Amino acid sequence: MDSTEPNAAHAVPLPFRSATEALRGARLRPEIEVEQVRAPQKLAPYAYALEAAVVEDGDDLADGRLVLLHDPSGHDAWQGTFRLVTLVRAELEPEMAADPLLPEVCWSWLTGALQARGLAYGEPSGTVTRAGSHYFGGLSERPPASQIEIRASWTPREGMGGVPDTASHLAAWCDLLCQIAGLPPVSTPDASVVSLPQRRGPQAH
């Protein structure tokens, strides 16, 4: 069932409805542009999806998708009734992408973003992928391009009424987006957090 369908609104469980309302009401950094998109319909009985981009001076520095899944009957792999699934991407300078520790650093950004907001979660899993592109022929004037991609999922712990704090999870996810885009944190930076320099904008297609 796609919870975005108007005629299905009456059938949406209250915990899922509360969780999605919190997502819609979340206050985010001004560099974040977010919009609701059609959610996948085969991953769970109920789903809600957002796409977001970090935009500064007209440049798209990073983008991603966050999907909230809900199965009122629970899911053994999730160890809960809710699951958050994400894809985050950003372009890097080739020399940054060559850092052998980059995958571990990027994964720590995700877990660190959740922990920094005091969020309880379980069953995290995911991959960090880096890819490089070299251009030839009619595209040979373009400089080499590298991209980092994080695919991950985790179970947000449920609070009162069986509803997780989805607004805070969204804010933490946006913290990850901004960090992978190279933006400074809004609060006092933690000396243990590694930041990458400002990204260039995406290549013209």
Q: 């440049």: which residue's tokens?
A: 59
- Identify residue 81 by its one-letter amino acid code: T
Name the pTM for this structure. Answer: 0.81
Q: Which two tokens stand for residue 118?
A: 């005091």
- What residues does each domain of the chain span? 6-181
Let me know: does 163 contact 18? Beta carbons within 8 Å.
yes
How many residues comprise the chain? 205
What's the CA gap between 33 and 40, in Å, rounded? Answer: 21
Structure tokens at 174: 């946006």
Cα–Cα distance, 129 to 188 (Å, whole number): 29
CB 131 within 8 A of CB 147: yes
How confident is the model over 90-142, as pLDDT tens digits?
A: 988 766 777 788 889 899 999 999 999 999 999 999 999 988 777 888 888 88
Query: pLDDT truncated to tens, each residue of the chain (205 aa)?
Result: 444 443 345 588 999 999 999 999 988 888 899 999 999 988 999 999 999 999 988 888 899 999 999 999 988 899 999 999 999 999 887 667 777 888 898 999 999 999 999 999 999 999 999 887 778 888 888 877 788 899 999 999 988 888 999 999 999 999 999 988 888 876 534 433 433 443 334 443 3
Distance of CA 171 to the CA centre of its chain: 10
Radius of gyration of the chain (CA): 18
Q: State the helix-helix crossing angle for 102-116 and 166-181, rounded to 10 degrees.
A: 150
Which of left, alpha, beta for 3 (phi over 0: left; psi -120 to 50: alpha)? alpha
| C-beta neighbour count of 42 within 10 angstroms | 5
Residue 147: enclosing H or E segment and its boundaries?
strand 145-156
Inter-residue contact 60 to 199 (CB < 8 Å):
no
Ordered DSSP codes for 151-174: EEEEEEPB-GGG-B-HHHHHHHHH
pLDDT at 45: 94
